[in-house]
Amino acid sequence: MESWRDRVINYLVLPSIGNVIFSIIGSKILTGNWLELFNRAISGDWRVIISLIILFGLISYIIKKLRETKIYGAPVVAGTTAPLGYTEIGTINYADVLWRIKAPIPSPIPSFLGSSQPSVSDVIAVSPPLCPDCKTELEQSRRCILPGYTWRCVKCGFTKNNRDSFDQERDRAERIAKSEIEKKIREGRNDSMS
For residue 50, what are the domain limits? 4-69
Q: Give yes or no: residues 123 and 185 share one domain.
A: yes
Residue 177 lies in a domain: yes
pLDDT band at 191 (very low <50, low <70, confident <90, very high): low
Q: Give yes or no: residues 50 and 91 share one domain.
A: no
Q: Give yes or no: residues 20 and 102 share one domain.
A: no
DSSP state of 117: S
CA distances to 79, 81, 133 from 105, in Å: 16, 10, 29
Q: In 3D, which of 123, 122, 124, 126 has the Cα closest to residue 138?
A: 126
pLDDT at 164: 92
Q: Give yes or no: residues 93 and 64 share one domain.
A: no
pLDDT at 79 over 60: no
pTM over 0.85: no
In the chain, how many domains are there? 2
DSSP state of 133: T
pLDDT band at 55 (very low <50, low <70, confident <90, very high): confident
The more confidently predicted of residues 187 and 6 is: 187
Residue 77 lies in a domain: no
pLDDT at 161: 93
pLDDT at 68 over 80: no
Reduce the secondary structure of 135-185 to three states and give it as a string.
CCEEEEEECCCCCCEEEEECCCCCEEEECCCHHHHHHHHHHHHHHHHHHHH
Residue 179 lies in a domain: yes
Q: Give yes or no: residues 169 and 119 share one domain.
A: yes
Q: Give yes or no: residues 36 and 94 share one domain.
A: no
Q: Give the number of other Cβ atoms within 10 Å of residue 22's Cβ.
A: 19
Residue 76 lies in a domain: no
pLDDT tens per residue across span 2-30: 565 666 667 767 777 776 777 778 778 87
How large is the average pLDDT for residues 90-116?
80
Q: Give yes or no: residues 92 and 185 share one domain.
A: yes
Measured distance between the N- and C-terminal CA atoms of the chain, rounded to whole angstroms: 55
pLDDT at 194 over 50: no
Q: Give yes or no: residues 48 and 103 share one domain.
A: no
Q: Give yes or no: residues 45 and 102 share one domain.
A: no
Q: Range with the lowest mean pLDDT among 38-47, 55-64, 115-124, 143-152?
A: 38-47
Q: Give yes or no: residues 16 and 103 share one domain.
A: no
pLDDT at 73: 38
Q: Give yes or no: residues 92 and 151 share one domain.
A: yes
Q: Give yes or no: residues 65 and 90 share one domain.
A: no
